[in-house]
Each structure stands twice: as C-alpha cells, then as structure tokens.
Structure 1
Amino acid sequence: MTETSLAQDTAADTATGSPVRLQAVAAPGQPDVTPALEELYRGFEQELLVPLWTEIGDLMPAHPRSRAVPHLWRWERLRHLAARAGDLVPVGRGGERRAIALANPALAGRPFATPTLWAAIQYLMPGEDAPEHRHTQHAFRFVVEGSGVWTVVGGDPVPMNRGDFLPQAGWNWHAHHNATAEPMAWIDGLDIPFQYVTEAQFFEFGRDEISDAERVTPERSRSERLWGHPGLRPLSAASATPGSPLLSYKWAHTDAALSDQLLLEKEGFGGTVEPGHAAVRYANPYDGSDVLPTLRAEFHRVARGAETAPVRETGSSVYQVFDGSGVVTVGDTSWTVTRGDLFAVPSWAPFSARSEAGTTDSDAGALDLFRFSDAPVFEALKLNRTQKDA
C-alpha cells in the first residue's frame, strides 16, 4: 500500500468514525508536532491503536485517582423515597426486589456507590415476599432499624433485626418474607460493579413462592445454631465454602465486643486500634477469613470526643452510621452525620471521623459506623496499601 492510499484510507475511516482519537500536542516529553506525526496518529486511529506516550499520565498516575467522589446519602430521605416506592412499585418477577441503589455522582449515572461496590436500600411491605433467585454476586444485608423480615437462604429462614449483619455468598438460593404488619428497610451490599466490569456474572430465577416449611419465623436460623458459638467450630463441618457458613452475626455480640475493647482501654490494657476507637471485622468461623470473597465488613465505634487519624487505602468503602452523631471527613469534604446516613470513600481518599455522640442519640454514647469494602480483592491481587496521615 502506498503512502497516498494509506492516507486516503485513514481519512475515510476517520470520516466514518473510529473510536480512537489522537491529538498531537506541543508539551514536554512529547514528540514535535509535524505533518508526519499527524499522519502517524491518523494511521493509529485507523488501526485502533493508542500509543502509551499520550496516555501514561492517565494510565499510570503517581497514586490512585478514583473515578468516584466522596458523597453522602441521608437516611431519612432514602427511607422516605423507599416508602413511596413501597406504595407504587410491586415486588415480583421482572424487578425481583424493591432495591434502590446509591449512584455516585461521578460515575455517569450508573447504580454504583463506587467503581467496585453496590449499596442499596431495600424495602419490603407488610406480608410481602421477595421471590427466590440466585446470582454469582456476593451479597449481604445490614439492618440499621426495624425487625420482622426473614431472609430464606437455601431453605434456612434467618431473622433480620437491628444491628444484625447477614452475609450471603454468591450462587445461593434466597428469598425474603415480611411476617409482620409493618414495613421494613435495610441496606444491601454487593460486588455487582466488580463482577460487571470483569464480565463474570450469572443470574437464575428460582421458585415464585417458598414453601410453608420455609415460612416459619425462628429466633435463630439453623446456620446460627451450628456456627454461632464463639470460638467453637463444629466437627461435622464439611470443606470450606466460598463464603461464611454463618448467615447472621447478631448485634448483641458485636456490641459486646466493641464495649469490651473500650473498657479494656480505659483500664489501661489496650485493645483498641487507637485511643477511643474500637473496631472489629466480621470473620468466617471456618477459618477466620473474610465473610465473603470480594467484600470485607467491619464495625467501628468512636467514643465521644475521640477522633480517628486520617487513613488512606487502596480500594473503596461505603459506611453507614448505625448510631450516634459526629463529623466525618473524606478528602476535602466534611459532613455532620446521624443515624442511618451512608457515605462513599473512594480509593486513596483520606478518611477520618470525630464522635459527637452522647446518650441522647446513641445507646452506647458513641459514634457507631458499619463499613464494607473491596479489600479482599486488593489483598488477593497484592495491590493493597494503607497510609496513615499525620
């Protein structure tokens, strides 16, 4: 092919719309802008090629530059809109769930709280059922208020009450039913964005209705009766599964662990991650690993008047205020937060929290924060990094 025909083909392809667009610019470290360079770039466009020297600043920055931004969603507003949806939007095949996802304002309207994390408020009306299905996405439910809904995982009815954390590994059949005369809301967390971008997701419909035997309302699920005894692993346990076999982590245990850490600190024995800051990670009772392969869940309690040191981490997080009040700072943005509020922390954005909670707005007199993140993915890929700012 002659240079003339190459130029003609390039012009024709550009006219028809190659997705690659290159512009020669006069800048340090860039080649001189000449007609020959322009012709070279048109050839790259025609063949769908992108030279690294035009992209290195974006592809290989000095530190993570997240596409997400810090953002806060107010619980009162979310719950109000979810209640309106309860009156207008049915639950059934097609929509499957009355779940309303948090959309980070910098992610082009996608229903993603961060590039890897999905968070949503789910709302179930009195006597209502959410039909059975399963998906490869790993998921959990966290209850900031209310009770009366049972999630049925693999035929095991699991009660949902305030403060309970309920993990559910991917590809498990699950449905929900509200056995009370009151509506109930909770938050769902999933790795939907991660599986979406990696093109790894599968989904399958289950039964339209669960059986009468599954529509019971036990105080403890079968998984809790087998796995919910601290420090004790049943010898009948089979080989490890992709996620935790314990389907509910009760608030009473979480609360006691956090309270004991702060009491030990007060008595001079340590036990907290920093002064006034107690924290726990929800762990798989089989081997102590994370409860889900792609999601980490933690609970943090910051005593009144205490402030956490700013911390940066690769990977992103979503927090929900479980109780109390205070000021949280993400990057250059600070918010006063109260019960139920949710906020996103993008990768490498410094995060800190100051507790202003008291006995009037918190059972523990502290700022209680539930957190979930994509940390297991970054650790598995050896991309995890943490920096505590002075």
Structure 2
Amino acid sequence: MSDQDRTPGRNAVSPVTLTAEDAPGQPPVTPGLLDLYRGFEKALLVPLWTRIGGLMPEHPRSKAQPHRWEWRTLLDLAGRSGELVPVGRGGERRAIALANPGLGGRPYATPTLWAAIQYLMPGEDAPEHRHTQNAFRFVVEGEGVWTVVERDPVPMRRGDFLPQAGMHWHAHHNATDAPMAWIDGLDIPFQYDIEAQFFDFGRDELSGEERTTPERSRSERLWGHPGLVPVSHVERARPGRGTPLLRYRWEDTDAALTDQLELEREGHPGTVEPGHALVRYADPATAEDVLPTIRAQFHRVRAGAETAPRRETGSSVYQVFDGSGRVTVGGVSWSVQRGDLFVVPSWAPLSMRSEASPSDSDSGALDLFQFSDAPVLTKLNLFRTHVEENA
C-alpha cells in the first residue's frame, strides 16, 4: 500500500467537515459547490472563506475564562494531599495545578501559563530534575524550604520571588518541622503546544552541603547588589538565557513599592497611575524580563484607589499577596483576599479596587503578584495594551 493510500481521503473518514451556508459573504449554495466541498474534505483542504471569522477575529477571543481560586480552599486540599500523596520519583512534585474552566479540563491556568500550589511536608525532599520549561516560585506565606538550583541552596520566605530558567537542575528540601506551600508558575502549556519540551531526571538525594540552610545563596552574593554586576560573571549572562539571580527578596520589593507611593504623595512622578505602584522583576545583567517566556510584576494599590480598566494581549495570573479588594475581569467581579489567585485572559479588561486596611495588610494596601506571557508576545511584536478611562 502506498503512502497516498494511507491518507484519510482514501481509507478513512476525513477530519475536515465543510458546510455550505446561504449567508452574506458566502458563495451561492449549488450542487456544484457541494461537490467542490466534498472534494476539499477528501483532499484535507479548508477554504479560508468558510473560516475567516474564527481564524482572524477583530480582536483576541480567548478560550480561557476569568476565574478565581480561593487560597483557603487550595491550602486545605494541598494539606490533605500532604497526608496522602508521597513525594518522589513518579509524581516528582506535590504540585496541584489550576485548571481554567474554559480549557477543557487541561491543567492550564491560561493557554500559555501553568500555575500550581506546591506543598512540602516537614523534612521532605523533592528530588532533583530539570526541564526546558521556564519556572518560578512565589511565596505568599511561610518559610523553611530551600530550593537547590545547580547545587546552590536558596532560601524561600514570604514575599520572595524565585525565578529559574529552563534546563537548570533543581530540587527542594524542607528543613523545618512544619509544612510549607507556595505557588509555581511555568510555561508548560506554551512549550507543550509548540512541541519543544525536554525533561531529565536527576539525583534522588541531595548532598550534605546542599541540605544546608544559608541565609543567602551564592547567586545572591554575586548578583543581589542593586546596580552592580560581578565582572567575573557578566560575560556568562547573555540576553534570553534568564536571570542569574535566583531570589528577589520581599524586603527589596516592598521598599520599592513604598517609595513609589511616597513620591506620589510628595507630588513627584513615581506611580503608573494615581494610587497604583508597579515594579517589574528584571535580569540584573541585561535589564530584560527575568525569564525568556514569563514576565513577573508586583502591584500595590493604595487603600481606596481603583485602577483604570486595562487590556493586554496575552494572559496573566495574579495572586493576592496582602490586603483585600474588588477585582473585575471582563464582566466578572470578585472580592479577593490574601492568597487568592485569578486569571485575566487575553484582551479582557482588568480593574482593581483596594479595600485594604491595616487589619488585613501589612502595607495597608492591596498587594498583588502577577505573571504573564508578555515576553513571548513582545518578541513577536504582538504585545498590545489599551487603558480605558475610569468612569
């Protein structure tokens, strides 16, 4: 049998189905047109005039839906998993992914972004592995876990952002007598759909040196000094490889946000809009995004302030770090509080109103961590934003 004989057009039902429609912009429905469409189906062809509205809409129409996950529910289920599900080869991580209700049950927060709560029990180790997927960890509460990246132990504490570019060996160990949870973000859906991913198993156990609990990692000692880069390593830090700094401390993020709002109060430029401070995590060697496919930012919205509705191409996941407020994504609104996560699909307008107070926020404001696929769209010249006027 020839290769041609094996095609669906010869021996199987074609996956292409075409329907002739008596509609504006469509050709008249005639026996000849019907016969032409059957020919297209057998030859595995699809004419543009039958699909242009779906393939080339006027603006992005995301399959993802706006959705919120409550932190207390996630934490409860992760804790129950800690009692029932071991960590080791096979599952690799006790990570529980957010599944967007518009994406058919796949473990995707958005079409390009994966987000999960990871949970490590006292004394547990998560074994070493590496993968092409770019990743990060963000800690909304707790401490006691060290992530070990290329044999460099890195502390994880509340408010810390820990990026990790693809193909770096990494493991985790909990050095305390209490469990700890954090969120993971990766570009798994993007790499899976473009069929570019690789994964390698590493060692099952960490060495004694890697199980230490230093206050600062070696990467921080080299790269964690604002405005200063180590000349001995700067040649190794090339654009597109990801940040060499493995931990962005909460103390530094908090200070930057505080200073922006104080400058605003003094009448100087500093915020992106009234009451809205925003910082972006950057590669200290290149000033580019920390990861090739993921942008990470942190927002602080002063109590009583509301952000103007903003649309962006590409998708984002937000986690409330502190405070409370009201978030509107498209036509959906939620009350949010510490730890809650929510999704903003492509081109859906987002606005946030801070209802925070000293009773529910250390800063007295609504603090939110955000990650998105903006670097991918920027490289392809597809990133676009639009800010609406506040009513």
TM-score in terms of structure 2 length: 0.96
Tell me how far 1:292 sits from its aligned partner: 0.2
Which residue number corresponds to residue 344 of structure 1?
343
Counterpart position of 1:323: 322
1:89 paired residue among 85, 92, 98: 85
- Residue of structure 1 equivalent to 2:147: 151
Once the 2 structures are TM-superposed, how far is the Cα of residue 15 of structure 1 from its aligned partner? 9.0
Alignment of 1:307-386 (within 5 A): 307-386=306-385
* Deviation for aligned residue 1:35: 1.1
Q: Find the partner of 1:177 among 173, 176, 200.
A: 173
3-state SS of paired residue (2:232): coil
How much does 1:363 deviate?
A: 0.2
Shift of 1:77: 0.1
Cα contact 1:311–1:352 (8 A) shared by 2: yes
Looking at structure 2, the residues matched to 214 and 260 of structure 1 have their Cα atoms a distance apart, in angstroms, of 36
Q: How does 1:160-199 map to 2 (within 5 A)?
A: 160-199=156-195
Encode CA deviations 1:271-291: one digit per residue, 9 max, x unaligned: 000000001000000010000
CA RMSD of superposed structures (Å): 1.2
Corresponding residue SS for 1:195: helix
Distance 1:305 1:126, change over 3 A: same
**Partner Cα distance (2:75, 2:180) in 1:** 10
Structure 2 gaps of 5+ residues are none
- Counterpart amino acid of residue 360 in structure 2: D
Match of 1:240 in 2: 237
TM-score by length of 1: 0.96
Confirm or deny: 8 A CA contact 1:258 1:279 kept in the other structure.
yes
* Partner amino acid, structure 2, of 1:214: E
Q: Which runs of 5+ in 1 are unaligned?
A: 1-8
Q: Which amino acid aligns with 1:124?
A: L
- How far off its partner does 1:14 sit? 9.2
- 1:239 deviates by 2.4
More displaced 10-residue stretch of structure 1: 32-41 or 299-308: 32-41
Separation (CA, whole Å) in 2 of partners of 1:39 and 1:86: 60
Which residue of structure 1 aligns with residue 210 of structure 2?
214
Aligned counterpart for 1:75 among listed residues 35, 50, 71:
71
Q: Does the Cα contact within 8 Å between 1:314 and 1:347 map onto a contact in 2? A: yes
Secondary structure in 2 matching 1:214: coil
**d(CA) in 2 for partners of 1:90, 1:45:** 50
Q: Residue 114 of structure 1: which of 106, 110, 113 is its match?
A: 110
8 Å CA contact 1:14–1:45 kept in 2: the answer is no
Residue 57 of structure 1 deviates from its aligned partner by 0.2
Structure 2: distance between partners of 1:15 and 1:380: 43
- Runs of 4+ with deviation above 6 angstroms: none
- Residues 66-100 of structure 1 show CA distances to partners (whole Å, capped at 9, x for unaligned) of 11010000000000000011011110001000000
AA paired with 1:236?
Answer: S
Once residues 153 and 259 of structure 1 are traced to their aligned partners in structure 2, the CA distance between those partners, rounded to angstroms, is 31
CA distance in 2 between counterparts of 1:309 and 1:361 reads 24
Displacement of 1:16 in angstroms is 3.7
Alignment of 1:38-57 (within 5 A): 38-57=34-53
Fraction of identical pairs, as percent: 74
Deviations along 1:193-230, whole A, 9 cap, x unmatched?
A: 00011100000000000111100000100000110011
Contact 2:279–2:299 under 8 Å retained in 1: yes
